[in-house]
Structure formats: C-alpha cells, structure tokens
C-alpha cells in the first residue's frame, strides 16, 4: 500500500492537477488513497442459476472468507481469495457467480429494470451489467445488448451464454445509430459509456493509467454526447435512462449532463430513493460537483479498497 505522496508521484501529473482543480484537498486525498493498492475481489451471485445462501455455503466449504454488502443482497466481498483462485471453483465455471466491481453493480440497481420491460444496454461488453439486469428481470422481458467491437461482442455472447441470460439479444453495431433504428422503443436504457477509466487507476499498476491523456478525455466526451443522443431517441417518452462512467473528471460527467439538459428534452432524477440508504450516505459517495441543483442529484463513487471510481446519473425522457 503506497502513501498518498507516492501515489501522486506515480500517476500522470496533469491528471493529479485536474483532481485538485475539481475537488477539495480532502476528497483528492480520498481518491488518491483509493488508488494506492490492489482492490478486494468482489462478486455478484447470478440468481438465474443460484442464490446467495448456496454460494455462501460453497465459499465456506472452501475456507473463503467474505463480507456481505449491506445495500445489495446478492453481492459479496472476498477477504482471502484472488480472482484467479475463485475462477477455479465450479460455481464460477457454471456461471453461478460473476466477478464484478461493486461500483459496476450500482447503475443496474439505479435503473431497476422490471420483468417484461424492453431494455437497451447501448455499450454492453463484456456483459457484467447486462447479465445483472437479466437476473433482476428474472429472465423475463427483452434486453438488446449492443457492442461496437467485434471481439468484445464475442466475449459478451460468451458471458450471456454462461450466465443463462436468455432474454438478451447481442448486437455488433454502432451505438450512435441505434436510436434512429429503434426510436421511442425501449422502456429503459443503460448507457455505461466508454470513458477514460480514471476510476480504475492503480498507482501500483502502470497499465491502468499509461494510455490516459487530456486529448483522450476530450475525444471520449464527444463520443459520449453522440451515444446519449442515440439513447435518448431509443427511449420511449417518460422512459428512464441511467448514464454512468468509471471515470472521475467533470468533462465526461457533470459537463455531459449539462449538455444533455440543454440539448435534449430530459430531466435528472434523484438516485437516493432508488438504492439503499447506506449507499447514498456512504463515505465513498459524494454528490456531483456543480452549481446546478439538478446535476447534484448524480452521484460520484470514489475509488477505495472495495470500489472503483464511478459516476451515475438517473434521467427521464419528458
């Protein structure tokens, strides 16, 4: 585990400087501390194939220690087991569990898809949130899961098959064009947007941050706007959308929401009522940074030992 000072020295200087521009020194210290070492392995029980009690019993039989997650009954934090070790278990091979970041589980919980709804997952690979939503819907309804990259789309199809998510149709195509093809069609849309991935940075692993640049952030912000417009077109009137990223900067988060409110007939909704209270009041979750009251309804999850950095906003088409 590195000190905050050591983390500052390892991460790109421009990135660290921008953190101090956007957040208080105390929040920046929390963020950098959350990037100081490896994160705990976390998993989600796939309720299509198993249940939390069965999985906990199997983990106990294998002497794997874990903690429950207060805000999500089907999530576990492993205390003495790596991803490679858990992948050797039969419950992993059979798709009874899915290795997934806790933060990644929050956007589907906020979207809250129901049985028999039509749901669009606009940038779906590798399928973490897609399979979670299929389980939340009890495998009843329809999910259209789109992925641009052909190889990643194959990985998506593999995970859908392994998890038994039979209500999902996988599509290899451009997310920007889906809105015009399926105008006003979906009850709910998840846009977990391609982003610069700052929430996943680990100072101990240069691979997590070596490709970051200000230019990449600007290019991704342009793409995110195109995808949001497509998601908006695909959503039926009064339908709900969740916009999320695994990055920390305002350009890909708050500024995207400002653009959305100005350009699209859409409103930002509260999140607190949609997920358990202790998530909303967690020390690792802070409101969006903005002078606009509605944008403050979005939440930023800070990186920590148990969570990747994430940004989540709940929207409704007027």
Residue 66 sits in a domain whose CATH number is 3.30.70.1170
The answer on 214 and 72 residing in a single domain is no
DSSP, residue by residue, 69-117: ETTEEEEEEESS--HHHHTTSHHHHTTSEEE--HHHHHHHHHH---TT-
Residues 201, 249 contacting (CB under 8 angstroms)? no
The answer on 276 and 140 residing in a single domain is yes
- State the Cα–Cα distance between residues 88 and 97, nearest whole angstrom: 12
The answer on 245 and 138 residing in a single domain is yes
Q: What's the order of all strands across the beta sheet hosting 66-69? A: 66-69, 72-78, 42-45, 97-99
Indicate which residues carry an active-site annotation. 246
Number of domains within the chain: 2
The pLDDT score that the predictor gives to residue 131 is 98
- For 269-314, the pLDDT digits (tens) are 998 655 645 555 567 888 899 999 999 999 999 999 999 999 999 9
Specify the residue for token string 């500024």: 255
- Both tokens assigned to 253: 């988060």
- For 69-86, the pLDDT digits (tens) are 988 999 999 999 999 999
Final residue belonging to a domain, choices 50, 73, 100: 100
The parent domain of residue 45 ranges over 40-100
- State the Cα–Cα distance between residues 146 and 130, nearest whole angstrom: 10
The pLDDT score that the predictor gives to residue 1 is 81
Q: Read off the pTM.
A: 0.96
Final residue belonging to a domain, choices 100, 123, 141: 100
DSSP, residue by residue, 213-260: -HHHHHHHHHHHHHHHHHHHHHEEEEEEEEEEES---STTTHHHHHHH
Q: How confident is the model at residue 242 (pLDDT cuts 50, 70, 90)?
A: very high
Kind of pairing between the strands at 186-192 and 285-287: unpaired
Asked whether the predicted pLDDT for residue 195 surpasses 90, the reply is: yes
Kind of pairing between the strands at 42-45 and 97-99: antiparallel
The answer on 165 and 311 residing in a single domain is yes
Mean pLDDT, rounded, of the chain: 95
The pLDDT score that the predictor gives to residue 282 is 64
The CA–CA distances, whole Å, from 179 to 143, 274, 286 equal 15, 26, 32
The answer on 133 and 13 residing in a single domain is yes
Residues 280, 267 contacting (CB under 8 angstroms)? no
Q: How confident is the model at residue 113 (pLDDT cuts 50, 70, 90)?
A: very high
The answer on 144 and 51 residing in a single domain is no
Residues 188, 239 contacting (CB under 8 angstroms)? yes
The pLDDT score that the predictor gives to residue 68 is 95
Q: 285 or 12: which carries more pLDDT confidence?
A: 12
The answer on 131 and 72 residing in a single domain is no
The pLDDT score that the predictor gives to residue 273 is 54
DSSP code, position 28: H
The answer on 88 and 115 residing in a single domain is no
The answer on 169 and 51 residing in a single domain is no
The answer on 220 and 190 residing in a single domain is yes
- State the Cα–Cα distance between residues 121 and 106, nearest whole angstrom: 14
- State the Cα–Cα distance between residues 98 and 246, nearest whole angstrom: 19
The answer on 250 and 120 residing in a single domain is yes
Final residue belonging to a domain, choices 54, 75, 100: 100
The answer on 179 and 85 residing in a single domain is no
Please report, for the domain that includes residue 126, its CATH number.
3.40.50.150
């Amino acid at each position: 585990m590195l000190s905050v000072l050591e983390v500052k020295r390892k991460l790109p200087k421009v990135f660290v400087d921008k953190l101090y521009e956007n957040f208080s020194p105390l929040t920046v210290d929390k963020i950098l501390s959350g990037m100081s070492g490896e994160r705990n392995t976390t998993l989600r029980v796939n309720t299509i194939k198993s249940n939390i009690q069965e999985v906990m019993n199997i983990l106990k039989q294998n002497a794997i220690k874990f903690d429950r997650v207060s805000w999500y009954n089907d999530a576990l934090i492993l205390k003495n087991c790596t991803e490679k070790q858990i992948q050797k278990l039969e419950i992993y091979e059979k798709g009874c569990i899915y290795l997934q970041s806790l933060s990644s589980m929050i956007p589907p919980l906020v979207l809250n898809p129901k049985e028999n709804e039509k749901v669009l997952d606009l940038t779906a690979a590798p399928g973490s949130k897609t399979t979670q939503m299929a389980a939340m819907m009890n495998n009843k309804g329809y999910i259209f899961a789109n992925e641009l990259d052909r190889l990643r789309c194959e990985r998506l199809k593999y995970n859908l098959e392994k998890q038994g998510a039979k209500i999902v149709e996988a599509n290899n195509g451009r997310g920007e064009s889906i809105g015009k093809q399926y105008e006003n069609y979906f009850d709910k849309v998840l846009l977990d947007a391609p982003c610069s991935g700052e929430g996943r940075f680990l100072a101990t692993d240069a691979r997590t941050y070596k490709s970051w640049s200000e230019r990449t952030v600007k290019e991704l912000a342009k793409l995110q706007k195109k995808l949001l417009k497509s998601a908006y077109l695909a959503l039926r009137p009064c339908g709900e959308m969740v916009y999320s990223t695994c990055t920390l900067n305002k350009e890909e988060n708050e500024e995207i929401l400002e653009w959305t409110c100005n350009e699209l007939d859409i409103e930002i909704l509260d999140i607190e009522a949609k997920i358990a209270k202790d998530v909303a009041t967690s020390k690792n979750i802070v409101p969006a940074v903005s002078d606009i009251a509605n944008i403050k309804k979005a939440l930023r999850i800070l990186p920590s030992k148990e969570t990747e950095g994430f940004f989540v906003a709940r929207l409704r088409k007027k």
